[in-house]
Amino acid sequence: MANTSRRNFLKTAGTAGVGAAASTIAIPAIAQSSPELKWRLAASWPKSLDTLYGAAENFAKYVAEATDNKFHIQCFAAGELVPGLQATDAVSSGTVELCHTAPYYMWGKDPTFAFGASVPFGPNARMQNAWWHEGGGEALMNAFYAKYSIYGLLCGNTGAQMGGWFRKELNTPDDLKGVKMRIGGFGGAVIAKVGMVPQQIAGGDIYPALEKGTIDAAEWVGPYDDEKLGFVKVAKYYYYPGWWEGGTMLHIHVNKEKWESLPKHYKAICKAAAALANDNMLARYDANNPQALKRLIANGAQLRPFSEAILDSCQKAANEVYAEISAKNEDFKKHWESTKAFRADQYLWLQVADATYDNYMMVQQRKKAL
């Protein structure tokens, strides 16, 4: 989208919140309602991961453009203000005004946070977008977030992720036992049930851990990011799919008190900016992953699907974890019931239309008929 048209769109979104009477308000009054603000955003990503960190930058840029730079948000990479995995904590405490992160990094505080990002064998990216906007997800998550003094804006999705890089081949569930794997949040609780040893490590620290043998396997996102992180140099077996992240939502977390202090049109601009950044991130991953995958294979990556037996054992373990946590955490149970019901209806519909069409087209691709 051209800068001019994007600016017009964002300004329209922002001024819509002011109401039809805005045209009659004197310019000085409008100026008073558009204060000059300088906020700091702590990202959970290094700058080298330009699609993830780029979503934070895009959000900040769109907000600045729509407010004639009166609302300025400065972005900081992981570690510049706070460690990447502690970005939401910093927002909750008021250390920074906002962050861009994957909510499941807060799994240790409360596993309910995972529903703001991705859960094992959960909905894909398109379904998550529908759940957030039309299935009650936004209201559910923000009611939960309020307990931690934060407000959430959906701001990115990776799409279905890869299953990660392994030093050895995996054929049966027994091959998983004892494997030390970098994996975040909920996925870690599930792989522990099948005998693996989960390790939560920030993105920039994964490569040295894999290179030194501190871990045996690692997952991050997908080909475009994984190529940048260099995993193919230290582990050659590249598995799919990442059943723990069928599509991962990223969020802007805003300190709740700061959010509530914003003028109404600034809130509207932030929501519009997050929506644009959300759309852009998935588009960039979809556009860049195919070529990155080709390059990884050319550089020695051995592409492997998880066997059905491995997937079945992991899904069984996931369902056990869902039941165990639901029995003792009412917030988690409420979010799981909402997600589970929505997922069931979505896959009922998906297999009728999209899946049938996509399966046919993928066959044509394999036949080289496209």
Question: Residues with Cβ < 8 Å from 48, sequence gap 6 or more?
Answer: 204, 228
**Summary mean pLDDT of the chain:** 92
pLDDT at 70: 98
pLDDT above 70 for 153: yes
Question: Residues with Cβ < 8 Å from 148, sequence gap 6 or more?
Answer: 88, 92, 106, 109
Question: Residues with Cβ < 8 Å from 163, sequence gap 6 or more?
Answer: 219, 238, 239, 240, 241, 242, 243, 306
Rounded to whole angstroms, the Cα distance separating 340 from 346 reads 10
Please compute the mean of the pLDDT values over residues 89-117 and round it to a whole number: 97
Please report where in the chains the tokens 């994007």 appear, as a residue.
6
**pLDDT, tens digit (0-9, with 9 covering 90-100), for 270-312:** 999 999 999 999 999 999 999 999 999 999 999 999 999 999 9
pLDDT above 80 for 49: yes
Through-space distance between the first and last CA atoms of the chain, rounded to whole angstroms? 28
In the 3-class helix/strand/coil scheme, how is 46-79 assigned residue by residue?
Answer: CCCCHHHHHHHHHHHHHHHHHCCCCEEEEEECCC
Q: 209 in the Ramachandran plot: left (φ > 0), alpha (ψ -120 to 50) or beta?
A: alpha
pLDDT at 25: 45
pLDDT at 19: 45
Radius of gyration of the chain (CA): 21
pLDDT above 60 for 14: no
pLDDT above 50 for 17: no
Q: Report the SS3 class of residue 135.
A: coil
Distance of CA 328 to the CA centre of its chain: 26
pLDDT above 70 for 48: yes
CB 148 within 8 A of CB 168: no
Domains of the chain, earliest start first: 3-16+36-157+247-287 (3.40.190.170), 164-246+299-343 (3.40.190.10)
